[in-house]
Structure 1
């Protein structure tokens, strides 16, 4: 299948912030992914820093624990030569009772240009846009969205070899079958991926125990053509990419017990070596952290069909692209690679 010449990227982003992917259309997504691919090449150079955001101050506001996302954003900002401020709720005045609004006011008073926020409450990123003048990037808000994770997943998928497909690198995902597997109800990653992947043309299947599916699933899908099943064999039939999700025990609250046991969950919904043997062209992804022996067997995590570490690397490039474009720049070019 050859790329469709009508599938073009936008020249600039129409959104001032990245709060979620629900309102981002395919051409904007392609612009981000094309820019990310250029930055991915930069990361392979001996000198990995570019001056694109020199003089721009970025503040990372993390009210939830994070390793990959926090480090990825910080590294992306430094690779772009931005000035970086890091905020951790456990080591801040939040632990003394300060509200998000007052924290935001203090950040605003410091003349921050761009704020990256992760928060346990859905809508926190939207709220922050009403408190500061700078650009806001959502690094995950409650069970709402995690847009940069979905973007790095799309970039990773675009680099995969799928038999019969030659247009993935043009971000033309039509005919591609992606299964998102696991705790759909509590996953902001699943929601953002549904929005992003369907916008690019992929056919998405959601699979997991019925107890882990959203009660308002139809509303969450927002009219998108998505297949839903609670049978793993059905979800993997014809699947090109399987994206396993971590069971969100910390977000289940009083609902813990949505599956009888982790062992039973792995038996019914975990991807194991026999699944790779039955589908030798199947690629496996996971947003991390992985619970080995639950969502994925250890042998699957370590197999050559797993692209989990590629997702991590691509995360830096995607976040560089998002920061760069939201700061008001056009598509990255070789001219930006100067010292």
Structure 2
């Protein structure tokens, strides 16, 4: 395991992550990736610690990945299901979290449909002077840090399996396509990928681009956003409302699921029209570099964000690798948060 001076108690957002922290996560995840390739896939790193998975929102990949990651580290797990919890009897979210604190939880992994819930729980844990670390597993339209970190790890291990690191993505062109307005994955990926020195291009219909970005011009096709909301001027962020210019010479294309459950207005004429204009297909990938790779955080609406045949083609798709990477990255995050308590 790499030595580290990790000091971050909670992982709630990637907005203030440093390059050293990114590289620490990548190198630690690489170590655990090697562990997961062994016959015995379990290590005693977090033996005796308790990880509480508090998922107030439905999830398959993220919840299962965190649970498996905790068990691979020999931690005990507590799994919360909102539908069968005391929330149905009027208990507050903070009271639920304090119940798990009283049970001896060392770390809490929080997912909620409303933005800010993991931060509120982290503040309450700090107010109570507990040593509980809180990890944001996705909150509303805010962020999804572990998904962005596993995306980063997937790309970096493709470029250098033995030594994944931030500098590998410098000047690479990465396109994020789709429902950026409702996507916490997109927000976290914007922070992480621009920190690498990559060119990040956002593409989607005007109704699904965040107003934060769309407000800088009536139509910005391929022009760098001069008033970028990202404070570091070295970060390169571009905006496109047409897909083809965004895809030109792209190294990686990340397509996002249409967040139909979060859409409160009719923002698209139809799914068919969306696929015709923004769906990723083999023909559209011809605009990219020859060795382009495609990512998707899942779950996938086949034939909407990406053609079904392309999704299953290992020549282009990194989707299954993303799922595999998720366990190693989440092991790394739990290890880094919990190693000081062992």
Distance 1:167 1:115, change over 3 A: closer
Q: Once superposed, what is the RMSD of the aligned Cα atoms?
A: 2.1
* 1:30-64 deviation per Cα after TM superposition (whole angstroms, max 9, x unaligned): 10110001101111110000000001111000000
1:203 shift after superposition: 1.1
Q: How many residues are aligned here?
A: 318
1:117 aligned counterpart, secondary structure: strand
Distance 2:280 2:34 in 1: 32
The answer to whether structure 1 residue 295 and structure 2 residue 305 are counterparts is yes
Whether 1:267 and 2:276 are equivalent positions in the alignment is yes
Specify the alignment match of 2:35 in structure 1. 42
Q: Name 1:17's counterpart in structure 2.
A: 10
For residues 168 and 191 of structure 1, what CA distance do their matches in structure 2 show? 26
Question: Is 1:109 the counterpart of 2:91 in the alignment?
Answer: no
Number of the residue aligned with 2:177: 181
From the superposition, tell whether residues 154 and 10 of structure 1 become closer, same or farther in structure 2 (CA, over 3 Å). farther
Q: Deviations over 1:231-265 (max 9, x none)?
A: 11111101100000001111112x1x211100000
Change (3 A) 1:277 1:222: closer
1:212 aligns with 2:208: yes
Taking structure 1 as the reference length, what is the TM-score of the superposition?
0.89
Name the stretch that deviates more: 22-31 or 210-219: 210-219
Alignment of 1:1-339 (within 5 A): 11-132=4-125, 133=130, 134-161=132-159, 169-172=164-167, 173-217=169-213, 221-223=229-231, 224-253=235-264, 255=265, 257-279=266-288, 280-304=290-314, 305-329=316-340
For the 8 Å contact 2:27–2:163, the answer to whether it is kept is no
Shift of 1:160: 2.4
TM-score (ref. length: structure 2): 0.89
User: In the superposition, relative to structure 1, how do residues 136 and 19 fare at CA in structure 2: closer, same or farther (>3 Å)?
Assistant: same
Q: Is the 8 A contact 2:247 2:285 kept in 1?
A: no
Residue 219 of structure 2 corresponds to which residue in structure 1?
none
For residues 215 and 68 of structure 1, the distance between their equivalents in structure 2, rounded to whole angstroms, comes to 29
Gap change, CA 1:46 and 1:329, over 3 Å in 2: farther
Higher RCO (CA 8 Å, separation ≥ 6 residues): 1
List runs of 5+ in structure 2 lacking aligned partners: 217-226
CA contact (8 A) 1:183 1:246 kept: yes
Shift of the alpha carbon at 1:278?
4.5
Quote the Cα distance in structure 2 between the aligned partners of 1:236 and 1:248: 22
- CA deviation after TM superposition for structure 1 residue 282, in Å: 1.2
Aligned-pair distance for 1:276? 3.2
Secondary structure in 1 matching 2:79 = strand
Q: Does structure 1 conserve the Cα–Cα contact (< 8 Å) formed by 2:12 and 2:135?
A: yes
Shift of 1:105: 1.6
The answer on whether the counterparts of 1:182 and 1:295 sit within 8 Å (CA) in structure 2 is yes
